[in-house]
């Protein structure tokens, strides 16, 4: 008899946990991801702010699963699901719309950016979701300093050296803190015409506090820390407008050339593929066993799923994704072997953490609420533990230690993936002005 086939779409936290839970299952597992790597998204901001290199936060999925003989990894993009005929439709660079049949399906496609109905902001305020996004943000930030150094008119320096981050959740707060450290320490002595420490960093959110899910005390501690690092925190106002010249907040224009979107996330289109019920954010409503109502063979897990526990929706965080992925894998394993299924899924919340600059973090776990250096050490240990391979753990540990002691960063390169790395002066660029002035 042929073995059942399990298709997992997505090799993020949820998909990878599902695949690992199925390692001993007598089944053919096919994991499809549109990238070839598993990405540790919580450290994306460290690539954007030059602490780590892209290869320190991402690992080839194929490499992670190389010893798992029942699992095949395919790099391709899933564009639809036929839940009646039981196949997914996938495309790769070579072939389009190939149907791949399944007996069990796990959709773990994560989330994308949400501009809250203002998709026109995307052009000027890129988000932070993929490795390419983090490299683009790093290029943009470093380029702003290069442009300012080349600019002879000091009146333009302030616009070039103003950075606005939209969204004061964990990503925005961590990014603002890391950016402040970058400009106040690492870049401090590297320029001659400009003073990097004069850079203005503005963190904006329509919420009344930073780090929404954290307690009032920790939120206050994080805000105070940011302000100590020189970050301007603007709360209670949404961004009205973003264009090439800056942002408008509560009617006030802040001229700037660099805006990074660290706010809302939108789920992947899994709900549309399945024509299933979704929550207001578009995440697929799933049952206690993580399956889609009416389809016990289809599981939706991680950021693209919506499940309430104790009357509240589970948050879109890595722990939820990993625990759900593992559960879906274990349930499928038990069904294939005919063994008793695990109890209904129950999320075990280990707590939340956020770093605010060098050597300072906030940590909330049950009744425990701490901030400071101890919380930062815990944050570092936990993040190292969850990196995908031992070599990454060692490499990131050494880089963090080096950066902590010397202030030097891992990757301060501006890489132009579109073409030549040589700057091409345009008629009004500061580079042309500088060259002409020589």
Site of interaction with ligand FAD (CB under 6 A): 9-15, 32-35, 41-42, 44-45, 77-78, 108-110, 128-129, 170-171, 268, 302-303, 316-319, 321
Residue among 38, 108, 103 nearest 66 (CA): 38
Q: How far apart are CA 371 and CA 11, in angstroms?
A: 33
Active-site residue identified among 135, 149, 151, 174:
174
Show the tokens assigned to 136: 């683009």
Residues shown for the chain: 438
Exposed / middle / buried, residue 427 (Cβ in 10 Å: 0-12, 13-18, 19+): exposed
Nearer to ligand FAD, 92 or 240 (CB): 92
Nearer to ligand FAD, 170 or 196 (CB): 170
Nearer to ligand FAD, 18 or 150 (CB): 18
Judge contact between 110 and 12, C-beta under 8 A: yes
Q: Is 174 a catalytic residue?
A: yes
Q: How far apart are CA 151 and CA 436, in angstroms?
A: 12
In the complex, least distance from residue 379 CB atom to ligand FAD, rounded to whole angstroms: 9
In the complex, least distance from residue 152 CB atom to ligand FAD, rounded to whole angstroms: 36
In the complex, least distance from residue 416 CB atom to ligand FAD, rounded to whole angstroms: 23
Show the tokens assigned to 255: 């001229």
Work out the angle between the directed axes of helices 131-150 and 430-437 (0-180°, nearest 10): 30
171 Cα distance to chain centroid: 8
Judge contact between 27 and 70, C-beta under 8 A: yes
In the complex, least distance from residue 429 CB atom to ligand FAD, rounded to whole angstroms: 31
Locus of tokens 């009416």: 294
Nearer to ligand FAD, 6 or 317 (CB): 317
Helix (H) or strand (E) holding 374: helix 373-386
Helix (H) or strand (E) holding 240: strand 239-243
User: What's the Rg (C-alpha) of the chain?
Assistant: 23
In the complex, least distance from residue 208 CB atom to ligand FAD, rounded to whole angstroms: 22
User: Which 3 state secondary structure label does DSSP give 247?
Assistant: strand
In the complex, least distance from residue 193 CB atom to ligand FAD, rounded to whole angstroms: 33
DSSP state of 290: S
In the complex, least distance from residue 410 CB atom to ligand FAD, rounded to whole angstroms: 18
Beta bridge partners of 164: 202, 259
Q: How far apart are CA 31 and CA 226, in angstroms?
A: 41
| Sheet containing 87-91: order of strands | 77-82, 87-91, 98-101
Q: Residue 225 contacts by C-beta under 8 Å, 6 or more apart in sequence?
A: 177, 356, 357, 360, 371
User: Which residues have a catalytic role annotated?
Assistant: 174
């Amino acid at each position: 008899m042929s073995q059942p086939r399990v298709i997992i779409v997505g090799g993020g936290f949820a998909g990878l946990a599902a695949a690992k839970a199925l390692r001993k299952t007598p089944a053919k597992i096919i994991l499809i991801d549109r990238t070839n790597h598993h990405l540790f998204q919580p450290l994306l901001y460290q690539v954007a702010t030059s602490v780590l290199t892209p290869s320190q936060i991402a690992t080839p999925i194929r490499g992670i699963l190389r010893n798992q003989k029942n699992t095949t990894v395919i790099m391709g993009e899933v564009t639809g699901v036929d839940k009646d005929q039981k196949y997914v439709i996938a495309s790769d660079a070579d072939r389009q719309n190939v149907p791949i049949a399944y007996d069990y399906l796990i959709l773990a496609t994560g989330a994308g950016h949400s501009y809250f109905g203002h998709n026109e902001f995307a052009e000027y305020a890129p988000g932070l979701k993929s490795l390419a996004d983090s490299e683009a943000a790093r290029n943009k930030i470093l380029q702003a300093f290069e442009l300012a150094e080349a600019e002879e008119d000091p009146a333009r320096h302030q616009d070039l050296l103003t950075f606005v981050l939209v969204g004061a959740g964990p990503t925005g707060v961590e990014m603002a803190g890391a950016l402040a450290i970058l400009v106040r320490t690492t870049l401090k002595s590297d320029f001659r015409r400009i003073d990097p420490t004069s850079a203005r960093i503005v963190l904006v959110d329509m919420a009344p506090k930073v780090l929404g899910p954290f307690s009032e005390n920790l939120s206050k501690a994080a805000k105070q820390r940011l302000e100590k690092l020189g970050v301007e925190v603007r709360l209670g106002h949404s961004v009205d407008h973003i264009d090439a010249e800056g942002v408008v907040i509560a009617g006030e224009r802040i001229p700037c050339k660099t805006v990074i979107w660290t706010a809302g996330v939108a789920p992947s289109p899994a709900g549309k593929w399945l024509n299933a019920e979704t929550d207001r954010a578009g995440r697929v409503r799933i049952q206690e066993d993580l399956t889609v109502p009416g389809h016990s063979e289809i599981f939706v897990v991680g950021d693209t799923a919506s499940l309430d526990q104790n009357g509240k929706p589970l948050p879109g965080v890595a722990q939820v994704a990993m625990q759900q992925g593992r559960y879906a894998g274990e349930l499928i394993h038990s069904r294939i072997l005919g063994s008793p299924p695990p109890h209904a899924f129950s999320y075990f919340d280990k707590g939340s953490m956020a770093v605010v600059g060098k050597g300072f973090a906030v940590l909330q776990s049950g009744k425990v609420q701490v901030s400071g250096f101890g919380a930062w050490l815990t944050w570092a240990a936990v993040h190292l533990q969850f990196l995908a391979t031992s070599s990454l753990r060692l490499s990131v540990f050494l880089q963090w230690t080096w950066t902590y002691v010397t202030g030097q960063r891992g990757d301060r390169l501006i890489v132009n993936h579109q073409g030549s790395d040589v700057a091409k002066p345009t008629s009004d660029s500061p580079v042309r002005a500088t060259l002409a002035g020589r």
